[in-house]
Structure 1
Amino acid sequence: MMVEGHGAAGRVARHIRQLIVEGVLEPGARVAEAALAERLGVSRTPVRNALPVLASEGLLEPVGKRGFAVRAFTKEESYAATELRCVLEGYAARKLALRDDRAPVVEQLREAMTDGDAIFTKGFLEREDEDRYAAMNRRFHDLVVNGAGDSLLQDMIQRVYAIPFVAPDVVAFNRIPAEEIFPILMSAQHQHHAMIDAIAAGQADFAESLMRGHSAAARRSLGLEERFNEVPSSGAA
């Protein structure tokens, strides 16, 4: 039985996400709060709170007045959208690097990295680190996107985030063995630091290139390289 309390909705969301990733909850299937609560050994409240989170990630879609169903999607959608996300975020990194008033955003980015670095100091990852890393990763990408100061770009990126497995706070540790996910995410964290340094130095071309190449780590962290290995890379990674 899953223990409820602070962060229960996040833990429930992680378990439901796993059921979707593994195909236990099939595309188009109606998500029933009561059945999920019984399956996960929790009350309906954290399930009810978790479903909108998963909908915001693009994994669920609203049906009826208050219900949700598993969103149907193709492997090509998720794979290509991950590439597109990094192209758009690369442009955001470029715009941020060119801003004369970027220093406060750079400071916030470095603060976010301090939180992220703490996850890796012990040399291995635990299951609860998934939520911590996801939150840090989302904060990093939101700071870059919002720091660009382009509302149209922000809107376009949010639309891409709605494709399943594309938003930066979607991490699925269960897709990859723990000993393999650690170096993947550590590499991504090093990329984060390099991007911040490039933005701080006003190196717009380099910042954009690093962010666009970041798509490879994003795909590997979700097991997309394995899951969709027949889909060729566009070369952005």
Structure 2
Amino acid sequence: MSAVPVRSRQVLMPSDEGGSQAVKAQQRLRELILAGQLASGARIAELALVDLLGVSRTPIRAALMRLEQEGLLQALPGGGYAVRTFSEREVGDAIELRGTLEGLAARLAAERGVSRVSLAQARDCLDQIDRVLQDPSLSDEMFSEYVQLNARFHRLLADMPGSEVLSREIERAASLPFASPSGFVGVQVNNAPARDMLVVAQHQHRQVLDAIERREAGRAEALMREHSRIARHNMQLAVRDPQATAMPGVQLIRQT
């Protein structure tokens, strides 16, 4: 198997302790993979990455191991790693897993009750999302703000049951390739009908929070699981829309 030809433009990274360098290398490698600059299926050349990232092989190897744990890389029988591709079913299963866990979090939050402070924080986050969605053009700046606020709301919800175990598992599920709450939101920027799904998703946010506050556990869980299906719908749009190929990582998903 041939080595991946890595582009020659050097990206210098600040010197730091080995652990910090590994994290930075991991972040940069993830960006390269999702941007399609490391071709899927071909062996990744460590030495080329050393030149590209400006760090030693030790943090590079640690970063590659972590990306394998995330699922973006696969270990090769003869040693080394290659970029993975994913079927629509695999991505859909990852999204479904996150939705199931978030549904459990919503149900437990409703059953156990949530403090007024936590509810107020969640409402404030949703108020900020409402303000973002008032811009009909959804500019790049607004889109970036939406993604950050959407992620914050989902984190707040995951913490509501007061279960470190559940919060950790939701975070782990959301870190699977393409499974984050905003993993395919980008397809809505250039697709007017799909963009309306942002408004639908925000309505679902409000309904879930209302169900949690009213202690309606079954309703809260069902709404949150339904909410995750928007991400699956957006994934299907992304892999079939030629204009969506610029979205990070779409080229790694195989149509079924």
TM-score (norm 1): 0.67
- Kindly indicate whether residue 39 of structure 2 is the aligned counterpart of residue 26 of structure 1: yes
Look up the match of 1:201: 214
Q: Contact (CA 8 Å) 2:114, 2:213: kept in 1 or not? A: no
1:140 CA drift (Å) = 0.9
Q: Which of these two proteins has the greater Rg computed from alpha carbons? A: 2
Look up the match of 1:158: 171
Give per-residue Cα distances to partners, 1:109-160, cap 9 Å, x unaligned. Answer: 1111011111111223222333211111111111111111122222222222
- Kindly indicate whether residue 88 of structure 2 is the aligned counterpart of residue 75 of structure 1: yes
1:187 CA drift (Å) = 0.8
1:216 CA drift (Å) = 1.8
Q: Contact (CA 8 Å) 1:97, 1:204: kept in 2 or not? A: yes
Distance (whole Å) between structure 1 residues aligned to residue 114 and residue 232 of structure 2: 32
Distance (whole Å) between structure 2 residues aligned to residue 179 and residue 103 of structure 1: 37
Distance (whole Å) between structure 1 residues aligned to residue 68 and residue 209 of structure 2: 27
Distance (whole Å) between structure 2 residues aligned to residue 17 and residue 115 of structure 1: 32
- Kindly indicate whether residue 105 of structure 2 is the aligned counterpart of residue 92 of structure 1: yes
1:73 CA drift (Å) = 3.4
1:28 CA drift (Å) = 4.8
Counterpart residue type for residue 19 of structure 1? A
Number of residue pairs matched? 203
1:58 CA drift (Å) = 4.4
Q: Contact (CA 8 Å) 2:91, 2:179: kept in 1 or not? A: yes
Among 102, 115, 121, the alignment partner of 1:102 is 115
1:60 CA drift (Å) = 4.6
CA distance 1:172–1:113, change in 2 (3 Å): closer
Q: Contact (CA 8 Å) 1:124, 1:182: kept in 2 or not? A: no
- Kindly indicate whether residue 136 of structure 2 is the aligned counterpart of residue 123 of structure 1: yes
Distance (whole Å) between structure 2 residues aligned to residue 138 and residue 122 of structure 1: 19
Among 133, 153, 158, the alignment partner of 2:146 is 133
Q: Contact (CA 8 Å) 1:59, 1:70: kept in 2 or not? A: no
Which 5+ residue runs of structure 2 have no aligned equivalent? Answer: 1-27, 54-62, 76-80, 241-252
Look up the match of 1:41: none
Counterpart residue type for residue 89 of structure 1? E
Give the SS at the match of 1:190. helix
1:174 CA drift (Å) = 4.6
CA distance 1:173–1:57, change in 2 (3 Å): farther
1:222 CA drift (Å) = 3.8
Give the SS at the match of 1:196. helix
CA distance 1:58–1:124, change in 2 (3 Å): farther
Which 5+ residue runs of structure 1 have no aligned equivalent? Answer: 1-11, 38-50, 232-237
Q: C-alpha root-mean-square deviation of aligned residues, in Å?
A: 3.9
Q: Contact (CA 8 Å) 2:125, 2:153: kept in 1 or not? A: yes
Distance (whole Å) between structure 1 residues aligned to residue 182 and residue 156 of structure 2: 13
Superposed, 1:164-203 pairs within 5 Å as: 164-174=177-187, 177-203=190-216
Q: Contact (CA 8 Å) 1:28, 1:70: kept in 2 or not? A: yes
Counterpart residue type for residue 74 of structure 1? S
Give the SS at the match of 2:208. helix
Distance (whole Å) between structure 2 residues aligned to residue 123 and residue 226 of structure 1: 25
Among 208, 212, 228, the alignment partner of 2:225 is 212
Among 123, 126, 135, the alignment partner of 1:113 is 126
